[in-house]
Amino acid sequence: MKTTQIVLSALGMAAMLVAGSSLAQDKKNITLPESNYQAGGSPLANEPMYQATNPKAPPMTQAEFDKARQIYFERCAGCHGVLRKGATGKPLTPDITQTKGTDYLKVFIAYGSPAGMPNWQTSGEMTEEEVDLMARYIQHDPPTPPEFGMADMKATWKVIVPPEQRPKKKMNNYNISNIFSTTLRDTGEVALIDGDTKKIINIVKTGYAVHISRLSASGRYLYVIGRDGKINMIDLWMEKPDNVAEIRIGLEARSVDTSKYKGYEDKFAIAGAYWPPQYVIMKGDTLEPLKIVSTRGNTVDTQEYHPEPRVASIVASHFKPEFVVNVKETGQTLMVDYSNIDALKVTSIGTARFLHDGGWDSTKRYFLVAANQSNKIVAVDAKEGKLVKLIDVGQIPHPGRGANFVHPKYGPVWATGHLGDETIALIGTDPVKHKANAWKMVQSLKGQGGGSLFIKTHPKSHHLYVDTPLNPDPKISQSVAVFDIRNLDKGYTVLPIAEWAGIKDDGAKRVVQPEFNKSGDEVWFSVWSAKNKESAIVVVDDKTLKLKAVIKDPRLITPTGHFNVHNTQHDVY
């Protein structure tokens, strides 16, 4: 019997029970949807990094180290962090891993743990050789990706069409306010789709895996940011809307927005990076980088220094010339005053760790953001510049931008679904007329299951749509739950969106991100399969909950998020 097999036999059961060890998550168990969500590939996988020599670590050749580094950034960095200091998962630094030893680590990686560590070998995701490789790799000093400063940014900055050469008026007949920007995740593109005719206007080259699309205050310019840190600025006034400027603001990123306060419309853009941990303020018409600010600092709870606090969501305040910047690992919400960027004023509000995504309440005064691994929603008052409340919700909230509606009993509420359980949390948002219900979870609805990424309604709709694309059950991931806001207690109706798409092959057909059209009478869904499988967009009549249209095109490869121009511009959700 091989030594490895003996060790696996002897330690296998122990490894399955290490929830209390220094390698296991000490919070609630991480669900399969959450581990799938966090384990997405990082653009840092292909960045060159230096291999430090650690005499206490097991030997590795340069080729082995480079292969392991790529696997780590493709599979592990989302949970354990770029520098292995810990994020959703626990730290994997040499002072911890070397005391465990290679054989122990191989068991842990192969079999996983009840606390959420995936079983990489027994699931077939890694071979025995790759498990051995990773067990040795995490005993070495973590390589640090390169920084990305002003010179790096300017080297990537391109003004394709200067402002003075752009149209002076709208040069097309499109109903711009009803255009949809749909992410084609694996091709590095967005599809601009005419919401009236359901025809593709243009396929625009962008960064890899565009995370969000945002609009300038005027509604003319569309800004998209890829996970590789590339921003593309698209002019919707052109005869065929297309790129007019681009820049890369880091090596990995998620967020972008533009100045919205009166007098500053379209003047500035801002983007936040996962690596390096920083945000960048740019000119709104050309993307010229003006100011870089690091987010490295201390955590809100233990006050420990964190070298890798990633910038999550960013929104533009409607009450002041400020950007609301949420820093994930430190739990700091930054109110960045852009009225004088040469003397930048930043108010740091300690909230809760693991800040992620969120949206405005119906008045656009209060920003509600998920602190996902803290199982809380944070409410921040953008007018007063202060924390309002930390609100306990379900396991791993993931609202997208959330959903605002008037509850028949509790008044105005904002809603979020969850990655970790099947609940939908409704939070009261009116501290004036419904003070007793404000800033608390007034109701918890039961949906189809965990794995929800987005929830959506519209002021003209009486329906609330909840997707579950990361649920392991295909029946749930390929459909959506719809609640009648007028009678939430009756439960939900299931719409078989993937089935309506009429896709014949065996793709995953995950249904993701409900998005209304401008008039609020249609809801669009992406039916998302692998890049070598057919995907589609399904349009549902909101009044009847019946199929209205299916958009298919060979160019619609891995469609995921989509953003209606009007609703995104005016924060309608």
CATH number at residue 126: 1.10.760.10
Q: Is position 260 within any domain?
A: no
Q: Are 149 and 252 in contact (CB under 8 A)?
A: no
Average pLDDT over every residue of 110-116: 75
**Ramachandran bin of 156, using left for φ above 0, alpha for ψ from -120 to 50, beta for the remaining angles:** alpha
In-domain check, residue 99 = yes
140, 211, 356, 463: which one is catalytic? 356
Does some domain include residue 190? no
Q: What is the pLDDT of residues 351-367, one digit of tens each?
A: 999 999 999 999 999 99
Assess whether 356 carries a catalytic annotation: yes
> Distance between CA 567 and CA 515 in Å, rounded?
9
Q: Tell me, yes or no, whether 327 lies in a domain.
A: no
Catalytic residue, from 60, 117, 335, 441: name it: 117
Confidence of residue 115 (pLDDT cuts 50, 70, 90): low
pLDDT value at residue 27:
40
- How far apart CA 89 and CA 117 sit, in angstroms, is 8
- The reply to whether 75 falls in a domain is yes
Annotated catalytic residue within 79, 134, 153, 282: 79
Q: How many domains does the chain have?
A: 1
Contact 351, 378 (CB under 8 A): yes
Catalytic annotation present for 306:
no
Phi and psi (nearest 5°) for 136?
-80, -40
What is the C-alpha R_g of the chain? Answer: 23
Average confidence score pLDDT of the chain = 91
Q: Does any domain span residue 25?
A: no
Per-residue pLDDT at 117: 78
CA dist 347 → 176, 328, 333, 521 (Å): 36, 16, 8, 40
Per the annotation, the verdict on 76 as an active-site residue is: yes
Q: What was the pLDDT predicted at 25? A: 39
| pLDDT recorded at residue 126 | 92
Confidence (pLDDT) at 57: 92
Q: Is 79 a catalytic residue?
A: yes
Confidence class for position 1, pLDDT limits 50, 70, 90: very low
Measured between alpha carbons, how far is 119 from 400 in angstroms, rounded to an integer? 29
Residue 195: per-residue pLDDT: 98
Residue 465 in any domain: the answer is: no
Report whether 348 contacts 336 (CB < 8 A): no
**What is the tens place of the pLDDT at every residue in 278-326?**
999 999 999 999 999 999 999 999 999 999 999 999 999 999 999 999 9
**Which of 80, 306, 458, 566 is the catalytic position?**
80
Report the length, in residues, of the chain: 573
Give the number of other CB atoms < 10 A from CB of residue 88.
23
Range(s) of the domain holding residue 110: 32-138
Is residue 171 within 8 Å of 237, Cβ to Cβ?
yes
Residue pLDDT, tens place only, 330-346: 999 999 999 999 999 99
- Mean pLDDT value across residues 62-85: 89
Which one of the listed residues 140, 211, 306, 398 is annotated catalytic?
A: 398
Give me the mean pLDDT over the 257-276 stretch. 97
- pLDDT, mean of residues 152-169: 98
Assigned domain for 410 exists: no
Rounded to whole angstroms, how far apart are CA atoms 363 and 430?
Answer: 9
Is the pLDDT assigned to residue 129 strictly greater than 80?
Answer: yes
The per-residue pLDDT for range 185-235, each reduced to its tens digit, is 999 999 999 999 999 999 999 998 999 999 999 999 999 999 999 999 999
Please pick, among 60, 76, 282, 441, the residue that the annotation labels catalytic. 76
